[in-house]
Structure 1
Amino acid sequence: MRQIQILKPGSLRSFFNSKLSLMLVAVLLLTGCEASLETPEKPDDNATVSGTVTLNGKPVTTGQVGFFSLKFGMAGQAELNGEGKFTLPDPIAPGEYRIYFITDNGQPPGGMPAKYMSETSSDYTVPVQPSANQVSIDIKS
């Protein structure tokens, strides 16, 4: 013999309200998670950069100079010429950049402190403005 279950007044309403509440919480959580995964919009790369690198006032003539964006990460690298001059081959986004150096053998050029050989340990920063930038980077040992 089957038993017929009689719903108490308000129990059906409670059932639907609890399901609706759970769905609403799930949607809000998923929406919050999705928003946190978005990366900030990168501004237009419209800044050109060239300049000179010196160590205690003398040109650094070997290796490359690297620009690491404090907001977006790696931005660009340029070869140093015999006069310590460089030009980034591509425009970069305006902002604050940490300067570091790269050499073929991984050793600092001509007595440069080792901290400048990595974008994580270098503390030398330069601002890059929209349009053309001419920077002078003078490292002290």
Structure 2
Amino acid sequence: MSQERVDHLLTSHRHEMPGRLVELDVDECWELLRRTPVGRLAWNGAAGPTVVPVNYVATSDGIVVKTTAYSAAVRETDDSPITFQVDHIDPETRTGWSVLAHGRLDVDWSFGRVDAPEVDVWPAGPRPLRLQLEISTISGRRLTD
């Protein structure tokens, strides 16, 4: 996707009425996923609903997260339904957007795959396991200014 198209997608909402919620199309949702380094992974775990912030990479067909072998995400999500959310809010202009994806998460137990996309993980320490979210539905909304 060209930078011109990306800029258009991200600014085309400006002609809308202020304070209006506008549905994002699938392409916009994917573009916003690709441009945002942190999202939230949510699942129904042993202690009930669980939400954790994670660094990730959006691939052509899903989301990749790297984590430790002892994380709650690994223990509780393999082949489980999950939700993934990214958003951006500007309190000064009272605008923002949110993208929500639903799918299944698979733990890739093949440590250090050569073909794995590089995830820029912010917390220190090794994160050898890949979690692959296969997205079944994706939607988003923008609050216009």
Report the TM-score range of the alignment, normalised by the length of the smaller protein: 0.3 to 0.5
TM-score normalised according to structure 2 size: 0.34
Bigger-Rg structure (1/2): 1
Q: Which has the higher contact order (CA 8 A, sep 6+)?
A: 2
- Structure number having the greater helix percentage: 1
